[in-house]
Amino acid sequence: MENFRFHFDNEPDLEKERQKISEQFTVAKKQKQEKIEGEYEKTNEEIKLIQVVNDLVRKEISEIGIITEEYASEDRIHLINQEKAKSLKMDSDGRYHLTGHFILINEDNLEGKKFKAFKVLLHEIIHYYSLHSLAFLKEENNLVIKEYRTGYVSHNPKEDEHEHFRGFNEAVTEKIMEEIIKKNKQYIIDEFNLEKTNFAHRENFDLGYKDEIKILDFIIQKLAEKQNKSPEEIWTKIKRGMFTGEMMHLRDIEKIFGPGSLRFLSAMSSYGSTNEINTEKIYQKIYLFFTEENQIKKNALAKEILSEREFLRYNSSL
């Protein structure tokens, strides 16, 4: 599986320089393997954690027929302190960076929290293994590398805060993480001495992106019901798309839930795609959109939630 794809924005001269651009990106990736300011030295247990998480992710995606040479080596994962995280404006415990192909983990936030640290790293490494696409643009005669796509989430390289499918992408990532943990629970407990933790004694554990997952689960169930397929069959297609870049199966959402529904879904938790209203209400109304069968009521919800830019495009698909 080719992990990276390059997008040249219809610039013929850039296409001709494909080899040069590929080499430039290789250099950029190599630079991100070097230790950064505010980074902690990894302990032997942390190095082992990185190895185990890689093995679990590779095993999971191999079960859906995906073979990869990708590997999130320890020098591509930077455990940083709180001060560094603040300077980088990190609003979460972990972050995957596409343009340098590396991971940042806020170590101070996870100190003494073994299972939480495991989950954060697993979530980010799933992003690391997903399909990636980079855009190469010319700005004032300089070649600039921009994010284009990670898994399902896509970015407009020419506009800040213009993206689609972030919420969907995070929900898929978190569900994959949940599957990996449930399948390998005892192994994880034994490897990292988690026998005395809540994780070892509870059937379920806390997931992030619960609102997005609720919406994704409803969509999967409805697609399965309408297409006379099992939910697992629908989910496997979605899961594969995270790593292969396949998206044709998402067109079924438009067929089942009506015109504009895919555009509406793409706005969920995506920067610049929704109006600034109460966060809890947004997810309630997004869920209501997919349970609603009346197109006029759907359109009213779309007008209330979508940003002006996205609503215009939603309207054009009706």
Express each pLDDT in 53-107 by its tens digit. 999 999 999 999 998 888 999 999 999 999 999 999 999 999 999 888 899 999 9
Residue 249 is predicted with a pLDDT of 95
Q: Which residues contact 248 (CB under 8 A, 6 or more apart)?
A: none
Cβ neighbours of residue 312 closer than 8 Å, sequence gap 6 or more: none
Digit-coded pLDDT (tens) for 161-194? 789 999 999 999 999 999 999 999 999 999 988 8
Model pLDDT, residue 198:
80
Confidence of residue 139 (pLDDT cuts 50, 70, 90): confident
Task: Choose among 170, 174, 53, 193: nearest CA to 122.
Answer: 53
Specify the pairing of strand 153-155 against strand 142-150. antiparallel
**Lowest-pLDDT range, 9-13, 31-35, 279-283?**
9-13
pLDDT band at 258 (very low <50, low <70, confident <90, very high): very high
Percent of the chain with pLDDT strictly greater than 90: 69
Report the 3 state secondary structure along 107-119. Answer: HHHHCCCHHHHHH
pLDDT above 50 for 2:
no
Mean pLDDT over 238-257 rounds to: 95
**Which pLDDT belongs to residue 100?**
85
| Sheet of 94-97, strand order | 77-80, 102-106, 94-97
Q: Are 170 and 214 in contact (CB under 8 A)?
A: no
pLDDT of 257 = 97
Domain edges within the chain: 4-201, 210-316
Structure tokens at 204: 């379920």
Least confident of 103-117, 229-243, 273-287: 273-287
| Confidence tier at 138 by pLDDT (50, 70, 90) | confident
Q: How many CA atoms lie within 13 A of 24 on its CB side?
A: 16
Please give the mean pLDDT across all residues of the chain. 89
Nearest residue to 205 (alpha-carbon basis) of 225, 167, 230, 179: 179
Mean pLDDT of the 278-291 span: 92
243 against 141, higher pLDDT: 243
46 closest CA partner among 105, 92, 102, 128: 105
End-to-end CA separation in angstroms for the chain: 36
Band of residue 16 on the pLDDT scale cut at 50, 70, 90: low
Q: Which of 20-34, 92-106, 195-209, 232-246 has the lowest mean pLDDT?
A: 20-34
